[in-house]
Structure 1
Amino acid sequence: MGRILAIDYGLKRTGLAVTDPDRIIASGLTTVATHTLLNFISGYLAKEQVDEIVVGLPVQMNNTPSETEPHIRGFLKKLGKKHPQIPVRRVDERFTSKMAQQSMLDGGLKKTQRQNKALVDEISATIILQTYLNKPF
């Protein structure tokens, strides 16, 4: 069984999380500059077996797509062309940044650490992945 890779796509930075090979634990992987994301994923896929990719679906409170969604769709087209064998799933990512901030606070991180946007993005990707893992199928 392969890993599941999660993406919290942002216009500048993108947070990534991954499961263990048994798909039990979701862990933060890293944060990369978005313009390098496709190359990073290709390199990761060359080293690790990934069976699925989960991408956050940014929607407003009224269920309309956020302004980031067209950029995500463009990225997903490129990803699908480069790696058509890997299915992509979407997960509602509402409130993940707030949950990431709260988990950092609960974890006792100092204020300067909580202001690290790259860390927030990585934790948000982990929350997206954990949400996906918790979904009943």
Structure 2
Amino acid sequence: MRILAIDYGLKRTGIAVTDEMQIIASGLTTIASETTIDFLKRYFAKERVEKVLIGDPKQMNGLPSESSVLIEAFIVKFISEFPDMQIERVDERFTSKMAFQTMIDSGLKKKQRQDKALIDEISATILLQDYLSRKK
């Protein structure tokens, strides 16, 4: 069964997923945030997912960030749609910076690095890979 990670945002949501053995995290897609629940319904219908990780945005001092309210509302909606799905919150403080650095390190051109959708997808992948590393 897979683990899916969600980097939920105001406009876009990055999604990453593991392989069936839960060894490798891969970016799946970036979608418009208002379509997230519909996307997940379709995805869960065809793939076996054991757990969903949802980014927990915090400020550097550990307090919730301003986007926390948005994500809490999404979680309420998620639980009402998927009451049996296990959810785990994961600190996402450095994922966007790490995603941007990953894009630089992999040689992406400046124009490609400005693709915020790609940053969101890479952020979700980093969140998931970090979780897998800590789990071992």
- Which residue of structure 1 lines up, in the alignment, with residue 128 of structure 2? 129
Runs of 4+, deviation exceeding 2 Å: none
Deviation at 1:34, TM superposition (A): 0.4
Give me the TM-score of the superposition, normalised by structure 1: 0.97
Aligned residue for 2:15, secondary structure, equals strand
Residues 19, 136 of structure 1: CA spacing in aligned structure 2 closer, same or farther, 3 A cutoff?
A: closer
- Which residue of structure 2 lines up, in the alignment, with residue 107 of structure 1? 106
Give me the TM-score of the superposition, normalised by structure 2: 0.97
Q: Write the mapping of 1:25-64 to structure 2, written as runs, cut at 5 A.
A: 25-64=24-63
Number of residue pairs aligned between Structure 1 and Structure 2: 136
Give structure 2 stretches of 5+ with no counterpart.
none
User: Residues of 2 paired with 1:132 and 1:74: CA distance?
Assistant: 23
- Which residue of structure 2 lines up, in the alignment, with residue 81 of structure 1? 80
Give structure 1 stretches of 5+ with no counterpart.
none
Deviation at 1:95, TM superposition (A): 1.2
- Which residue of structure 2 lines up, in the alignment, with residue 117 of structure 1? 116
TM-align CA RMSD: 0.9
Deviation at 1:136, TM superposition (A): 3.8
User: Residues of 2 paired with 1:60 and 1:72: CA distance?
Assistant: 14
User: Residues of 2 paired with 1:56 and 1:33: CA distance?
Assistant: 16
Residue identity in the other structure for 2:76: K
